[in-house]
Amino acid sequence: MPFEIVCGNCGETLYWGMDIQPREVLKVNRGICHNCGAKLSLDFVLEVIRREAYKPPIGAVVVKNRAAEGE
């Protein structure tokens, strides 16, 4: 299941994915939010939010079908 790490100060997404730990995000960003400059720490709040499954926009399906017709 993918997860998102956001800055508690400004809400900027620092990481979105499945492969990394919060400690590694801090190392990459040198412990500072690249958007607002706030100091980041490992003292964080875990919030679980259920999301709908990804559905591509209808336009993407139309483009795909047109591409198939042109072949």
Burial class (CB in 10 A: 0-12, 13-18, 19+), 15: middle
Residue 26's pLDDT is 83
What are the φ and ψ backbone dihedral angles of 10, each rounded to 5 degrees?
A: -110, -15
Q: What is the pLDDT of residues 54-66, one digit of tens each?
A: 565 665 555 554 5
Q: What is the pTM of this model?
A: 0.56
Residue 37 CB contacts under 8 Å (≥ 6 apart), including other chains = none
Instruction: Give me the number of domains the chain comprises.
Output: 1
Q: Which residue range(s) make up the domain with 55?
A: 3-70
